[in-house]
Structure 1
Amino acid sequence: MSTVRVGAVTFDWYPFDPLVRRISEAAVDGGDDVDVICLRQESEQKSEVYNGVRIFRLPMNRGFGQSLPLTLLSWAWFMLMAGWVLTWRHLRRRYDVIHVHNIPDFLVFSALIPRLLGAKVILHIQDTAPELMVAKASGRKGALIFRLACWQERISCAFAHSVATVGWPFEELLLQRGVPKEKITIILNSADPKLFPEERRCTPPYTVAERTGQAETTPFIIMYHGTLAERNGMDIAIRALAQARQTVPQLRLDIKGRGEHLAYLKQLAQELGVQEHVVFTDPCAMEELVDFLLQGDVGIIPYRCNGFSELVLPTKAYEYAWMQRPMLASDTKAIRSMFRGESLILCDPERVESFAQAMIDLYQQPELRERLVTNALEDYTPYRWDAMAQRYRQLLYTLAHPNRAPEVALSQQ
């Protein structure tokens, strides 16, 4: 397959963002040429080559917890800077495809000049902006914010030649909002086997302790990794842990992540008297995340049931399934679109006691844990990352060479 020159843009750090990283490295692994323009943390170099991907970092931070006006200004300023770098690079080396990752959707207009000069443009919708903005908004501003977010999503999708998204619920929404079906490609944010090698799978620590007679002195670890925002519901998990520990004192909750809710979560754990049993750690390099997963016994996804979280297919669900860890999760439309009810424990996101009982059940029933692991892996297997990577490479090739016959046949499952 001919080499495709790709310029990618993301309002995030690289290689911190897992989807942008695995998408970019999938293209490089397929013989394509990839630049990524992204944010820069103080400790990072302005530019470098990482696993074959050229990175150009701009001196900006994400600004967790900023007000909406400041966030919009940050996005707009980054769009202008990224557009300048993208245009400069395009004039030097002529990109075939510009791949822009939201949020925001209007970041796609950083590709304006390359598009006018012939480059094809992908808008990758990892999160639907209208639902996410409303989930963050408060009061009567929500309706206005939703309309404005829908408007910018609509013109951004119209500007792009192709729209990629991360799951069926998002595809359904985009179709309802007028994006043509033939313009949409679903690329699930599956677990990257390079970062989560199959040979690293192992029996959960507590299960080993049960089999060796050490269960009474071994903690039963429930784990979460990712963004710590109110919509992600980790306060529900902490409250559930406090309830469940009254029955099962071996329970522990390990949380790896950062976000505007972190300080509140630490305070809540202290107020509930479980600060010694809730372990907070900072985010780590993607290569180290597998170690965090293997040290835990059960994964938890306690997302609140709002218009946004209802639609999100969390990457961590794929990672838990692939690394054979049982899950308890909020009963949402997105989760049900991927996993059967017998593949994980579905909990009522409005009821702390639902999560507490699930924690107790998983602790007390090793055969239930084994059954959930088997079923979840079976559900996930058709959507492994190797299939998604091939689908992405075919999309790049089709956009870059529209008049040539496809070299790889793919199906939109």
Structure 2
Amino acid sequence: MEPIRMSPCRLCVITFDWYPSEPRVHRLSETAVTAGHQVDVICLLQPGEPSFETRNGVNIYRLPASRHYAGSVPELLLSWLRFLLLATIKATSLHHKHRYELVHVHNIPDFLVFSALFPRFSGAKVILDVQDVTPELMTIKATGYRRALLRRLAIWQERLSTAFADHVVTVGWPFEELLLQRGVPSKKITIILNSAYPPLFPAAQRPPLPGSDVAEEEQTFILMYHGTVVERYGLDTALRAVALALPSIPRLHFKIRGAANPQYSVFLQKLVSELGISEHITFIEPTPYLDTIVDFIVHGDVGIIPYRNDTFADLVLPTKAYEFAWMQRPMIASNTRAMRSMFRAESVAFCDPSKPESFAEAIIDLYRHPEKRASMIMHASQDYEPYRWERMAERYEQLLMQLSGRQQMTAVEQPSLASRDVMT
């Protein structure tokens, strides 16, 4: 698909994350550059990275703030507030120089959108990108009496933030439904899925479909997971499933690639030892280079998404699911509402997220039936086809044109919520 051509627009992107390792910010920013826009990204600074660089046409301004996967809620809030202050100062300074027309702010936190205060009052249009719904996330992070209080505060700041923004972008239908319920007008919301980004996931690198023969005894059968390693994503369930499946698949190997919550990582390492499966598990540290993910995926046999069925994970459409579907790898996944909204039962081996034996049965079944893996791949590809990145990029480019005044503001074409009933 040829990108939409337009006169250049000056766009500032703000994220409490690293760039280019944050996939959504990376692909949207490069999409805007490809369409001819001038893009500046304000993000976190990692050790060893330059505070400024230009990569693939994107100007990257990194700020000395930290993001931790562990810590208390007050510590998390303080880190958000520190970055809000730094990002506000930087965005204001850059706006004086470049006079941005658009500022695209990615949550979490939602209130990071107020870092665009000066550009907003100077005429720039502001997009709030809701990658995660903060009230539901805070609900699972807090316990006891604090849970209800944090949820109320999270809803309050979300409402202020979405009201301040000129437009809200979100990552899927479950999140859209919540935003609608909390008062965001439907005409103010655009869905842009975290579809697989073809420059990072070339179709030419797809492995061949599984053959018709049962896997050979001496052949290693690789189960894979990539992404954040935290408790709500259920890696302990997957490890227990591997232990249960090993008697049937002696050469089963599970590779886990991703940044981990330190406490949960220690727990997983201890669990691996207790289960006696150390020789069958590999933990791989992530790198800031996203192009290494495709090599990880194409050398695996089956992807696993063992998310817990809590109020947050039930709403998440995992980016890795799109990447598995695009790169033609079969999937085993928790039977969540979000996953069922995207894929049919013929496309994914759905499992009970609370039962390791359910995942173990799926692993064994797919190992023994390569023809089933091939069939699932084809069905998942069909399910994913309407939501390929080329279509999401076109949707984003259209939104930028409209908000910047280069095109009359109309509803951006997208599937309606009603069309995304849970698949059966």
Q: Give the residue type in structure 1 aligned to 2:398.
A: Q
TM-score where L is the length of structure 1: 0.96
* Alignment partner, residue 250 of structure 2: 249
CA RMSD, 1 decimal = 1.5
- The reply to whether residue 270 of structure 1 matches residue 303 of structure 2 is no
Match of 1:389 among 359, 379, 393: 393
Residues in 2 aligned to 1:24 and 1:147: alpha-carbon distance in whole angstroms: 33
* Alignment partner, residue 304 of structure 1: 308
* Alignment partner, residue 294 of structure 1: 298
Cα deviation for residue 265 of structure 1 reads 1.1
Aligned residue pairs total: 407
Residues in 2 aligned to 1:35 and 1:358: alpha-carbon distance in whole angstroms: 45
> CA distance change for structure 1 residues 214 and 121 in 2, over 3 Å: closer, same or farther?
closer
* Alignment partner, residue 146 of structure 2: 141
Report if the CA contact (8 A) 2:187-2:411 is conserved: no
Report the 3-state secondary structure (helix = DSSP H, G, I; strand = E; otherwise coil) of the residue aligned with 1:217: coil
Q: Can you give the 5+ residue segments of structure 2 that lack an aligned partner in the other structure?
A: 1-5, 416-424
Residues in 1 aligned to 2:329 and 2:69: alpha-carbon distance in whole angstroms: 30
Residues in 1 aligned to 2:63 and 2:54: alpha-carbon distance in whole angstroms: 15
Cα deviation for residue 63 of structure 1 reads 1.5
* Alignment partner, residue 342 of structure 2: 338
Report the 3-state secondary structure (helix = DSSP H, G, I; strand = E; otherwise coil) of the residue aligned with 1:216: coil
* Alignment partner, residue 38 of structure 1: 43
* Alignment partner, residue 411 of structure 1: 413
Report the 3-state secondary structure (helix = DSSP H, G, I; strand = E; otherwise coil) of the residue aligned with 1:343: coil
Q: Deviations over 1:326-353 (max 9, x none)?
A: 0010001100111111111110001111
Cα deviation for residue 61 of structure 1 reads 1.6
Residues in 2 aligned to 1:295 and 1:135: alpha-carbon distance in whole angstroms: 34
Match of 1:86 among 69, 79, 91: 91
Report if the CA contact (8 A) 2:322-2:384 is conserved: yes
Report the 3-state secondary structure (helix = DSSP H, G, I; strand = E; otherwise coil) of the residue aligned with 2:346: helix
Residues in 2 aligned to 1:183 and 1:259: alpha-carbon distance in whole angstroms: 35
* Alignment partner, residue 422 of structure 2: none
Residues in 2 aligned to 1:258 and 1:409: alpha-carbon distance in whole angstroms: 38
Taking only the aligned residue pairs, the percentage that are identical comes to: 55
- Written as runs of structure 1 = structure 2, the 5 A alignment for 1:56-135 is 56-135=61-140
Q: Give the residue type in structure 2 aligned to 1:319.
A: E
Q: Give the residue type in structure 1 aligned to 2:324.
A: Y
Cα deviation for residue 76 of structure 1 reads 0.6
Residues in 1 aligned to 2:133 and 2:401: alpha-carbon distance in whole angstroms: 26
* Alignment partner, residue 58 of structure 2: 53
* Alignment partner, residue 364 of structure 1: 368
Cα deviation for residue 305 of structure 1 reads 0.4
Report the 3-state secondary structure (helix = DSSP H, G, I; strand = E; otherwise coil) of the residue aligned with 1:56: strand
Cα deviation for residue 307 of structure 1 reads 0.5
Q: Deviations over 1:339-391 (max 9, x none)?
A: 11111111000111111100110101111101100000000011000110111
Match of 1:328 among 305, 327, 332: 332
Residues in 2 aligned to 1:124 and 1:180: alpha-carbon distance in whole angstroms: 15
Q: Deviations over 1:135-192 (max 9, x none)?
A: 1222231111111111110100000000000000000010000000000000000000
Residues in 2 aligned to 1:272 and 1:140: alpha-carbon distance in whole angstroms: 36
Residues in 2 aligned to 1:173 and 1:318: alpha-carbon distance in whole angstroms: 22
Report the 3-state secondary structure (helix = DSSP H, G, I; strand = E; otherwise coil) of the residue aligned with 2:81: helix
Of 140-149 and 183-192, more deviation after overlay is shown by: 140-149
Report if the CA contact (8 A) 2:229-2:259 is conserved: yes
Match of 2:165 among 156, 160, 171: 160
* Alignment partner, residue 260 of structure 2: 259
Q: Give the residue type in structure 2 aligned to 1:243.
A: L
Q: Deviations over 1:106-145 (max 9, x none)?
A: 0000000110000000000000001111112222311111
Residues in 2 aligned to 1:401 and 1:3: alpha-carbon distance in whole angstroms: 12
* Alignment partner, residue 421 of structure 2: none
Of 17-26 and 139-148, more deviation after overlay is shown by: 139-148
Residues in 2 aligned to 1:31 and 1:229: alpha-carbon distance in whole angstroms: 38
Cα deviation for residue 246 of structure 1 reads 2.0
* Alignment partner, residue 175 of structure 1: 180
* Alignment partner, residue 399 of structure 1: 403
Residues in 1 aligned to 2:357 and 2:144: alpha-carbon distance in whole angstroms: 28
* Alignment partner, residue 224 of structure 2: 223
* Alignment partner, residue 184 of structure 1: 189
Of 167-176 and 255-264, more deviation after overlay is shown by: 255-264
Q: Can you give the 5+ residue segments of structure 1 that lack an aligned partner in the other structure?
A: none
* Alignment partner, residue 235 of structure 2: 234
Cα deviation for residue 410 of structure 1 reads 5.4
Residues in 2 aligned to 1:174 and 1:142: alpha-carbon distance in whole angstroms: 20
Match of 1:376 among 373, 380, 405: 380
TM-score where L is the length of structure 2: 0.94
Report if the CA contact (8 A) 2:105-2:127 is conserved: yes
Q: Give the residue type in structure 2 aligned to 1:347.
A: C
> CA distance change for structure 1 residues 343 and 8 in 2, over 3 Å: closer, same or farther?
same
> CA distance change for structure 1 residues 214 and 155 in 2, over 3 Å: closer, same or farther?
closer
Report the 3-state secondary structure (helix = DSSP H, G, I; strand = E; otherwise coil) of the residue aligned with 1:276: helix
Report the 3-state secondary structure (helix = DSSP H, G, I; strand = E; otherwise coil) of the residue aligned with 2:14: strand
Residues in 2 aligned to 1:168 and 1:194: alpha-carbon distance in whole angstroms: 26
Cα deviation for residue 263 of structure 1 reads 1.9
